[in-house]
Chain A
Amino acid sequence: MRFVRQALPTLALMFATATSLAAQNGTIRGSVTDSTTKQALTGVTVRIDALQREAQTGPDGSYTLDVPAGTHIIRATRIGYAPQSQSVTVTAGGTADASFGLAPQASLLEAVVVTGYGTTRREAVTGAVSTVDAAAANVGVKTNVDQMMQGRAAGVEIIQNNGEPGAGSQILIRGGSSISNTNDPLYVIDGVPVINVPTEPSSYGVGGTPALPRNPLNLLNPQDIASITILKDASSTAIYGSRAANGVVLIETKKGNRSGGPTVEFEAYVATASPAKHLDVLSGSEYRAFVEQQVPIFNADTVACRTAYPTPADSTAWKACFAAADGLDPKHLANLGTANTNWEREVTRTAYTQNYDVSFTGGGENTHYRASLNYMNQPGVAIANGLERLQGSLSAGHSAFDNKLRLGVNVTTSRVKNTYITFENTGGFEGGVFQNVAIFNPTRPVQVSDSTGTHYYEVIGSTSVRNPVALANQISDKGTTTRVIANTSVDYDLATGLTAKITLGGDHSGGSRQLYYPNDNPVGEALGGGLARQYDLDNTTGTIQTLLTYNKPFGENNTLDVLGGYEYNKFASNLFMAEGIGYVTDAFSFNNLGAARTRNDSSYAQDWKLVSFLSRANLGFKDKYFVTAILRYDGSSKFAEGHKWAAFPGLSASWKLSSEDFMSGGPFSDLRLRVGWGRQGNPGIAPYQSLVTFAGSSGANYPWGDASSNGVIPTGNGNPDLKWEQTDQYNVGVDFGLAGNRLAGSLDFYQKNTSDLLLNVQVPPPAFSSTSLQNVGKLKNSGFEASLDWLAVSKPGFTWRAGLVFATSKNKVEDLGPYTFLRSGQVSGQGQSDQWSQRIMPGQPLGTFFGPVFLGVDANGHQLFRCSGSSGGCVNGETITPQASDYAIIGNANPDWTAGLTSQLTRGKFNVSFLIRAAVGLDVFNNTALVYSTKGNALQDKNFLKPALTDPTGLHEPAIFSSRWVESASFVRLQNVTVEYNLDLPMLTRNARSARVYVSADNLATLTGYSGLDPEVYASAGLASRGVDYLSYPRPRLVTGGIRFVF
């Protein structure tokens, strides 16, 4: 404390001196243009590095900077242009002019890269980093950041869970490093890490797999995003240490502008969405025709039976005679309805999305600000669901003491209202809305009228089929999240090059979920006469970051950047649920739990902490050789005593070959070689798993004397050795530029070795639960990534840019501890309990399909499978009852390679761009076809998929998982096409400085051999399961029309 007492007066003195120095200033003004097209460039950063002072050019390309008198080096940078510097001398009170004409180049080579806890010049970057041009990516309907990254960053594989508005995504950066842990990257917004957990409680399910969480980043308005940077290799992510094993996504939001005066931007768009592909089920008349064709077969087959047994008897022989008959019993004719219902059309619609953005930017010499407001209303292509978002954000910055002190505030607040489709993923084998679309009898009507009025048609007494329209319309499932993310930072330059920074961050979300299953619907009836639930989930994260940075040029073109800091994160969450069962009326919906016959409630709370010490040093020598060393020391409360702390180092270097004399005159305008190594962790586990804990729950209660007594049971074994899952990653990369950097690219090879994998492992009993979370197993990912960017044409009135990203990766399980295999990829549907489609096995990748090998169908309509030996009726290597020993590897859900191709063409006032994505060599298990393309559904008067009509599989054959249902799912998708036009009609646009109209189309066409709805699937059933397609919310085709004004 003595130190502090002494330091305080010293500091105060420093402030006083700093203030007195801020007297004689001058002004630098100028404008920036494109050197080839001669057009003004907006959004150019004009910066004086030595003073940490910068400005952005406005719509007319001009900027203003207030600086102390003297000579300064000004640098102008913008994505897609080669940076330029010039020296300007300003006199006190005078004005100097410094204009730039920037030469366009490939946009991959942006000048400044956000690298975590700061920015770095592109030349000094030593790790593998991808950047996404936020402006180019924000086309069409984009609800979150994930959608903006899709197809635009090499080695970043993103599959949106389904087509429901606001759906989350599965993200794999370089293949995914964990089996049971999260594979989500770490998101850092404006320097503050975001705890990426669901903000809304999950719904009530009747079976099936857990509901997929919403995308927590739905709170950010894509329009507010200035840049997205993806740190991929360990040497760049090591600065985020324990949370970085899956990569880091750095998001910077737009900030205010210190010059150019206030600017108002307004954008509005309207989009129409419709299902991109239709499910191929029988129509009402086709279904009728099928039954009418099958009944005579049954009648013919049973002539002998009816002669032998004129009256029904209860004997095995009588039963056997009829049961052996093919075709459908005539009673199914009587069950045919007269309607012709296209259930898919009944539950889908063309939906209209509207989105409005307003932002207001401005600033002066010492203060800048940006405020924005967004409203979005996105109804789903299925009835009765959608997403509505109201979002506002505010950022402001202020500098004082001649820019030695810099204050910043960012606040983003949003309210997202989700209306969910019932039982998405949680409907069990009775199914959700889309499963029932596939099977509900098309000869039956949506609604019927009788003496009690008009109501939805339901199959009486049946729980295995439900009217999908009634499910969607009658059952309420709503979620609302209010979230505020705020951070404030103070930077102070203690001395030349030495800066101290404190950031305080807060993230609070309040999520609620409201459900009602009405008595009117058979689901609600079966749940006890109407069931209502209300949930509240409250998440809070607090972050404190303190950083000291020192950067100093020395000698000739040598630089040193050193950073040291401390970070503290605390997360707390609590959940409350109340439930009412049994209502006399459905009128209350979920709004009057007190009116229920019985009520239940529960609550839960958890918290955890992450504390870090971090350091980084960048050394640049002669502007050619760069070395970065990182050491982060992280402590997490989640791990066992004695294992809470771990060090995460990273070391990398780059060599700018093109600056060497021996390279001069060669084809390369830029050539850099990078090598790196680092270690990262993955703490994505629930807290308290190292402890033995006891808790009360209804499962622990026991009714002595018929009155239930409260019980307490151990809830977990606790693992006193629980520690970090660690990933070691090596990376070798090359960055190059050709033809004056008009063609640029990056090539990267990597290998990731994950060890101490966190897996729930069977423990030797007796134990409180049969498994415990342990560090066993190893996983390896290796791959190659390439990004190419090409400025093909750049002349007045005509610019054409094209980009390509390509990635190939191999994933292999090296070791599974005590296990020979783990089952994954649970099969869904009727009669599929305990059936798994995938095995995680040493020597094989995650997502390996494992099952019987289908050979064909025999003359009796039985499916034949490959077998060996003589067990289980194996004849000539064929069996109709495959045994476990006959199972083999039947597919791999990982693509051989993925690619994304972008092109942007500007001709006159038109701007045309497109994005094509492709994945090749992957397999998908078509669970939908397994359980729905079976004619046997007609035995229960259920519909089925049309291909079954022509396949020879017998009517009585059960659905058996096999290689038959594992299909190649390679695809090429035209993801987006956008046409933009710069409006130049003063009578329309009045005093707008610029105005544009555009039309954009998403998910226009997909080229694939896959027979299901969509080759990109994510069913999430089981450990690290990949590539399982079980009928889910279809991805829509979207056409967007929008207009943008800048005033």
Chain B
Amino acid sequence: MKRTFVVSSIGAAGLCALLLVPMQGCTNLDETPPSAISPGNFFHTEGEVLAALAGVYAQLRGTVDDYYNLNEISTDEMVVPTRGQDWYDNGTWLETHRQTWTASSPATLSFMNGAWNTAYAGVARANGLLDGVKNSTVPNQATMEAEARYLRAFYYYVLMDLFGGVPVATTSEIMPRERVTRDSLFKFIESELLAIRPALPVKWDAGNNGRITKGAVDALLANMYINAGVFTKEGAGAGGINPTGYNACTGVTVVGGTACQAAKDRADSVLLSSAAYALADSFPKPFRSDNGTSAENIFVIKFADEAGLGLNFVMRALHYSQFTPGPWNGFSATSQTYNAFDSLDRRRRVFLVGPQFNVETGSPVKDRAGNPLVFTTTIANVTNATEGEGSRIYKWPADPKHVAQDNGNDFAWFRLAEMYFIKAEAELNGATGTPTPLALVKAVRARAFATDTLSTLALADLLRERTFEFAGEGKRRQDLIRFGKYTAAFEFKPSVTDAHLILMPIPQGQIDANPLLQGHQNSGY
């Protein structure tokens, strides 16, 4: 009987479960991710907002990939030759250098698409933060919002530089949006920068250096104003960008007057802020791994010797045996650029040429065949180069404390030297100011020459000087377009290319994804 009782109890309990389970609300399907947070329950403390802000900054690291590469490799400064079985990569690298891309060619699908997505992801992160803090009140909120808006403005600047006018969003909704004109994007970025400037400090304390300052605002505005003759035009053609001549800032009106005068004023605003900025006493200092506190760098991407947080320029350029882990032996300088340097110019030392050494141990290295590795300045056949061909730009030397490929050198999108150059260029275009353009450039050259013999400075000289000062800093495409030389023939790009290439094509996949972009591709593609 006892057994009967046990069994019937089990049966009864089971039957109850059968009837009850569906009624007990076991149909609740709400989702709560345990390892993530919802925006609704975040942004409540300063620390939380600061963490989201770090995420907006973190996206800056992406700008030294595709955006940087396009700025260098599509110009006369750098080339990535095919080296035997290495670096063919579906022809993307040579397509970029030769400017043979189209709206759906491999380089566009890869590099242009990458640059587009990277910049817009930055915009989205900033919008996410700005939406999230709307209903919050936390200490230092105004400053953090200003930083997020600066970064968003910079990501839009990247898009404006590459693609012209693009869809603009200031909220988080994902929806198709129409392109705006390049000019109105320019004005949007300008108005954002002017609006946030008061909320930003002149300088941050040591524990926060690298965050956005008033100087960063001024430097970006100065750069935009000096490029106003390009950035406010929709493209090449009548009344547009001149593909073969200098595109002056004169004749463009911006907030605060003519663009050239405004460029000079903004440059001055940084130059005169002696409490915050000063030229380094030697050329290599702003690039070394200890450049975190360099007073020359105005707007930097902070890198650290931690996994995933470092700069990897050494990997792209150096030979397999020159560093551990083994670099990729890709990016080379053209001989045209190397040869343009005065042999007495100390800045030429950023090129690795001749017999090569391991940059960490200093011992001589061999190529894969076992011969001593020698970097030649020339590349005989860009589609079939040897391991040692092409000089390498080694401006950001290896960090002794690097973790694998991650080096702690910060990368400056704007440093003080450029403010000297912008002021000089603005003055050459009629802006009033002192000292003279020549004096300004010589002030920067002082650390590069034992005896500086530069005696005149016309616009053409200024472009040459910019090569010497900024080689490898991701400025070349912008400079060549402003000076009307981007589509000219250069080494490994023998023929003059079409003017429409001044603007990158909007990658076809992006047009597919946004119906409002259909029919609004940049002209010529």
A23: min CB distance to chain B, Å: 13
Q: Say yes or no: A4 contacts B19, CB within 8 Å.
A: yes
Q: Mark B365-404, 1 if CB is under 8 A from A, else 0.
A: 1101111000011111100101001000000000000011
Given the complex of chains A and B, what is the CA–CA distance between A950 and B153 in angstroms? 59
- Report A1046 CB to chain B, min CB distance, Å: 33
Whether A490 contacts B386 by the Cβ 8 Å rule is no
Contact partner, A881, options B26, B91, B109, Cβ 8 Å:
B91
Given A714-B125, A936-B85, A763:B11 Cβ within 8 A: no
- CB of B42 within 8 A of CB of A706, answer no
Instruction: Check: A495 CB closer than 8 A to any chain B CB.
Output: no
Among listed A227-235, A447-455, A597-605, A970-978, interface-contacting one: A597-605
List the B side residues contacting A315 at CB < 8 Å: 378
Chain B interface size band reads: 35 or more
- Residues A743-785 near B (CB distance < 8 A): 761-770, 772
B residues in contact with A11, CB < 8 Å: 11-12, 15
With A695-B35, A762-B510, A833-B89 as contacts: A770 and B117 at CB distance below 8 Å: yes
B20 and A4 within 8 A (CB): yes
Chain A positions within 8 Å of B87 at CB level: 831
Specify which chain A residues have a CB less than 8 angstroms from the CB of B510 in the assembled complex: 762, 764-765
Q: Is the CB of A694 within 8 A of B38?
A: yes
Q: Is the CB of B89 within 8 A of A698?
A: no
| Stretch with Cβ within 8 A of A (4 or more), from B208-216, B247-255, B447-455, B463-471 | B208-216
A694 vs B50: C-alpha distance when bound (angstroms): 14
- Chain A's interface size range is 35 or more
Docked Cα-Cα span, A712 to B58, in Å, equals 10
The smallest beta-carbon distance between B292 and chain A, in angstroms, is 5
List which A679-722 residues lie within 8 A (CB) of chain B.
687-688, 690-696, 698-715, 717
A602 to chain B, nearest CB (A): 10
Given contacts A706-B302, A831-B82, contact A461 B309 (CB under 8 A): no
Q: Known A462-B326, A698-B307; judge A834-B110 contact (CB<8 A).
A: yes
Does B120 sit at the interface, judged by CB under 8 A? Answer: yes
A538 adjacent to chain B (CB < 8 Å): no
* Shortest distance from the beta carbon of A19 to any chain B beta carbon, whole Å: 5
Mask, A475-509, CB within 8 Å of B = 1, is 00000000000000010100000001110000000
Are the C-beta atoms of A461 and B326 separated by less than 8 Å? yes
Contact of B14 with A492 in the complex, beta carbons under 8 Å: yes
Contact A712 B12 (CB under 8 A): no
In the complex, chain B residues whose CB is within 8 Å of the CB of A459: 368
Asked whether, in the complex, the Cβ of A939 is within 8 Å of the Cβ of B84, the reply is yes
Contacts of B386 in A (CB 8 A): 323
Partner of A820, one of B309, B408, B512: B512
**CB–CB B512/A708 < 8 A:** no
How far apart are the CA atoms of A900 and B335 in the complex, in Å? 64
Residues of B within 8 A of A834 (CB): 89-90, 92, 106, 109-110
B167: CB under 8 A from chain A? yes
Most buried by A among B28, B121, B366: B121
Q: Mark B22-47, 1 if CB is under 8 A from A, else 0.
A: 10001111110111111100100000
Cα distance A989–B434 when bound, in Å?
A: 110
**Quick one: given A544-B21, A687-B33, A761-B513, are A704 and B207 in contact (CB under 8 Å)?**
yes
B8/A15 in contact, CB under 8 A: yes
| Docked complex: B111-129 residues within 8 A CB-CB of A | 116-117, 120-121, 123-125, 127-128
Q: Which of the listed residues B7, B29, B306, B516 has the most CB atoms from chain A within 10 Å of its own CB?
A: B29
A638–B31 CA distance with the chains assembled, in angstroms: 7
Whether A714 pairs with B320 at a CB distance below 8 angstroms is no
In the complex, whether B17 has a CB less than 8 A from a CB of chain A is: yes
Q: Tell which of A78-86, A149-157, A523-531 binds the partner.
A: A523-531
Interface residues of A in 923-938 (CB under 8 A from B): 931, 934, 936-937
The reply to whether the CB of A92 lies closer than 8 angstroms to some CB of chain B is no
Give the Cβ gap from B8 to chain A, nearest Cβ, in Å: 4
B54 on interface, CB distance cutoff 8 Å: yes
Of the candidates A460, A568, A766, A884, the one whose C-beta lies within 8 Å of that of B124 is: A766
Q: Return the CB mask of A585-625 against B: 1 if under 8 Å, else 0.
A: 00000000000001010011111110101000000000000
Q: Is the CB of A941 within 8 A of B304?
A: no
Rounded to whole angstroms, the CA-CA distance of A401 and B106 in the bound complex is: 74
**Cross-interface CB contact of A15 among B4, B28, B109, B508, cutoff 8 Å:** B4
Whose C-beta in chain A lies nearest to the C-beta of B321?
A: A461
Q: Is the CB of B85 within 8 A of A959?
A: yes
Contact of A714 with B29 at beta-carbon distance under 8 Å, contacts A688-B36, A704-B208 already known: no
Q: Are A636 and B370 in contact (CB under 8 A)?
A: no
Given contacts A691-B38, A695-B35, contact A323 B17 (CB under 8 A): no
- Complex: how many Å from CA A699 to CA B307? 9
- For the complex formed, measure the closest distance between the CB of B507 and the CB atoms of chain A, giving whole angstroms: 9
Answer whether A609 and B29 are a contact pair too, CB < 8 Å, given A8-B16, A566-B22, A937-B85: yes
Bound-state CA distance A691–B39 (Å) is 10
For window 524-576 of chain A, which residues contact chain B by CB distance below 8 Å?
A: 525-528, 544, 546, 548, 566, 568
| B102 nearest in chain A by CB position | A884
Smallest beta-carbon distance B299→chain A, Å: 14
Contact B84 A704 (CB under 8 A): no
Contact of B31 among A319, A608, A717, A769 (CB under 8 A): A608
Q: Which of B189-215 contact A (CB under 8 A)?
A: 204-211
Contact digits for B397-434, partner A, Cβ 8 Å, 1 yes 0 no: 00000011000100000000000000000000000000
Q: Which of B43-91 contact A (CB under 8 A)?
A: 48, 50-55, 57-59, 82, 84-91
Closest Cβ of chain A to B113, distance in Å, is 8
In the assembled complex, the Cα of A457 lies from the Cα of B178 at a distance in Å of: 61
Task: Considering the complex, give the chain B residue whose CB is closest to the CB of A644.
Answer: B29
Whether B85 lies near A831 (C-beta < 8 A) is: yes
Please tell me which stretch of A293-301, A328-336, A794-802 contacts chain B, meaning at least 4 of its Cβ atoms lie within 8 angstroms of it. A328-336
Whether A462 and B368, one on each chain, are in contact in the complex, defined by CB atoms closer than 8 angstroms, is: yes
Q: Is the CB of B384 within 8 A of A818?
A: no
A319 touches B378 (CB 8 A): yes
Q: Given A566-B21, A603-B35, answer yes or no on A768-B121 (Cβ-Cβ < 8 Å).
A: yes
The yes or no answer to B10 lying at the interface (CB within 8 A) is yes
Say yes or no: B384 contacts A956, CB within 8 Å.
yes
Are A316 and B31 in contact, with the CB atoms below 8 A?
no
Which residues of A from 107 to 131 have beta carbons under 8 Å from B?
none
Chain A residues whose C-beta falls within 8 Å of the C-beta of B109 in the assembled complex: 834
In the bound assembly, the distance between CA atoms of A339 and B190 in angstroms comes to 69
Partner of B308, one of A324, A332, A609, A698: A698
Closest to B30 in A: A637
Indicate if A12 sits at the interface (CB-CB under 8 A).
yes
Q: Is the CB of A700 within 8 A of B324?
A: no
The segment out of B136-144, B168-176, B272-280, B496-504 that lies at the interface is B168-176
Query: Which residue of chain A has its CB nearest to the CB of B52?
Result: A712
CB-defined contacts of B308 to chain A, threshold 8 Å:
698-699
Q: What is the bound-complex CA distance between A769 and B39, given in angstroms?
A: 15
CB atoms of B326 and A712 under 8 A apart: no
Q: Is A740 an interface residue (CB 8 A)?
A: no
Asked if A830 is at the interface (CB within 8 A of a chain B CB), the reply is: yes
CB of A793 within 8 A of chain B? Answer: no
Q: Chain B contacts of A698 at CB under 8 A?
A: 306-309
Q: A4-B16, A15-B7, A712-B42 are in contact. List 18 more A-B contacts (CB 8 A).
A: A19-B8, A502-B18, A546-B21, A609-B29, A611-B29, A635-B27, A690-B31, A704-B54, A710-B54, A763-B174, A764-B167, A764-B517, A772-B174, A831-B86, A832-B88, A833-B92, A835-B90, A881-B91
Sample (7) of A-B pairs whose CB atoms are under 8 Å apart: A463-B325, A608-B31, A691-B33, A692-B39, A764-B167, A832-B90, A958-B384
- B residues apposed to A, CB below 8 Å: 4, 7-8, 10-12, 14-22, 26-31, 33-39, 42, 48, 50-55, 57-59, 82, 84-92, 102, 104-106, 109-110, 116-117, 120-121, 123-125, 127-128, 167, 169, 172, 174-177, 204-211, 292, 302-304, 306-309, 320-321, 324-326, 335, 365-366, 368-371, 376-381, 384, 386, 389, 403-404, 408, 508-510, 512-514, 516-517
Top 6 A-B residue pairs of the complex, sorted by shortest distance between their CB atoms: A711-B54, A765-B120, A463-B326, A319-B380, A461-B321, A713-B55
